[in-house]
Amino acid sequence: MERIYNFSAGPAMLPQEVLEQARDELLNWHGCGMSVMEMTHRGKDFSAIIAQAEADLRELLNVPANYKVLFLQGGATMQFAQIPLNLLAGRSADYLVTGAWSKKAFKEANKVGTARLVASTESSGFTRLPSAAELEYGPDAAYLHLCTNETVHGVEIHDPAAFRTSVPIIADMSSHILSRPVDISQYGLIYGGAQKNVGPAGLTLVIVREDLLGRAPANLPTMLDYSIQAENGSMLNTPPTYSIYVAGLVFQWLKKQGGLAAMEQTNIAKAKLLYQTIDASSLYHNPVDPACRSRMNVPFTLNKPELDESFIAEAKKQGIVSIKGHKMVGGMRASIYNAMPLQGVQALVAFMQDFEQKNA
Ligand SMILES: *Cc1c(COP(=O)(O)O)cnc(C)c1O
């Protein structure tokens, strides 16, 4: 059977080479006679796997030495609470709301502490970023939280410097981490669920500057305390071993592709092709300000919504699946993460043009 092009927002496609390697190593990892799934996380084999994964991730993202890399669980959603629980220390924090995900993070932070809104673009349908004049930073914020790629609305912050303040910046990078180089030193903490652009679900990446550790109140549950997780090498309890292993294979695959600078070039080419096709058409429409259109998640609507169902059905016949948009936005959404090859976007674009012609 042929592999299809899966445009799902997450869990999403993984590189075929990674899946093949995982298959080849499934029953007997490196001659040890068992699967990674069956190994103790305290043994030398798994210790080597997690150490290599961390080293490769540090190399790819050029993580400075004064940052800890944590392999956690609970998804990015758990971080919405874990971040304020660890970092507020009785103060409030500033939240920028530019889409569905940062709105959720803001709401959750207010559940466990006090979060202030810096700006929200909700009244313009989350189709743009706020201008400098709209930003109202709080006087004593413990940090500024933002989402650098809004997966549902397709809004990406291409220039984080526009939101630089004197306080640590905390960024939800779930849906574009590893899609481009990032200057980690500009952030206090970055995080993301793995299932979009990193590996299988069940693993959450947190990269945190060391001076932000140790601020948690004494009654914070042990599992939620970043300092304790860091002291224990993310192995306070059983970590998601198989997800860490596959993520490690993805890191090695990324290095083979030439690292994040090379991935960025491919991702720019893929996104450009898709947006050009949308903009040149009279059937498809993307509402996002071109200055902040996402390279990873491309929502678009059909000017004749009565064609939505046949678009999805015809696409499926061409091996193009999971293209239906999020219910909040409607229409379609093509998620084109690292593992989506240029050929997949070319196939989508060819289908879209053909579909438009047939339905003119
Ligand atoms: C998917 C997503 C989340 C939620 O991730 P989980 O790992 O499912 O909790 C949060 N933020 C962004 C930007 C996302 O894309």
What value does the mean pLDDT take over residues 214-228? 96
pLDDT of residue 360: 85
* Structure confidence at residue 165 as a pLDDT band (50, 70, 90): confident
Cis peptide before 11 (omega within 30 of 0): yes
CA of 230 to the centre of ligand 1 (A): 22
CA of 152 to the centre of ligand 1 (A): 10
Q: What would the pLDDT profile of 27-48 be if each residue is shown by its tens digit?
A: 999 999 999 999 999 999 999 9
Catalytic residue list contains 354: no
What value does the mean pLDDT take over residues 108-118? 97
Catalytic residue list contains 308: no
What value does the mean pLDDT take over residues 243-255? 98
What value does the mean pLDDT take over residues 243-256? 98
- Token pair in block for residue 302: 């059909």
- Token pair in block for residue 182: 């990032």
Average pLDDT, the chain: 97
Choose among 148, 137, 100, 132: nearest CA to 115: 137
CA distance 62 to 51: 16
| Statement: residue 1 has pLDDT above 80 | no
Which residue is closest in CA terms to ligand 1's atom 14? 174
Choose among 187, 186, 157, 191: nearest CA to 174: 191
Q: What percent of the chain has pLDDT over 70?
A: 100
Identify the sign of the CA torsion 270, 186, 260, 50: negative
Q: Which residue has the higher pLDDT, 335 or 165?
A: 335
| Statement: residue 341 has pLDDT above 70 | yes
SS3 216: coil
CB 109 within 8 A of CB 84: yes
What value does the mean pLDDT take over residues 83-88? 98
Instruction: Outline where DSSP puts E strands in the chain.
Output: 5-6, 67-72, 92-97, 114-120, 141-147, 149-150, 155-156, 169-172, 189-193, 204-209, 284-285, 297-302, 320-321, 332-335
- Token pair in block for residue 24: 């080849």
Q: What would the pLDDT profile of 120-133 be if each residue is shown by its tens digit?
A: 999 999 999 999 99
Helix axes 44-61, 241-256, angle to 10 degrees: 40
Q: Is the CB of 77 under 6 A from ligand 1?
A: yes
CB 7 within 8 A of CB 333: yes
Q: Which residue has the higher pLDDT, 187 or 165?
A: 187
Instruction: Outline where DSSP puts E strands in 17-78.
Output: 67-72
Catalytic residue list contains 103: no
Q: What would the pLDDT profile of 138-164 be if each residue is shown by its tens digit?
A: 988 999 999 999 999 999 999 999 998
| Statement: residue 19 has pLDDT above 90 | yes
What value does the mean pLDDT take over residues 45-68? 98
CB 225 within 8 A of CB 232: no
Q: For the chain, give the number of residues.
A: 360
Q: What would the pLDDT profile of 96-108 be if each residue is shown by its tens digit?
A: 999 999 999 999 9
| Statement: residue 73 has pLDDT above 70 | yes
Which residue type occupies 4?
A: I
CB 83 within 8 A of CB 283: no
Choose among 51, 50, 52, 108: nearest CA to 76: 108
Q: Which of 101, 106, 146, 189 for mutating ligand 1's site (highest number of atoms within 8 Å of CB)? A: 101
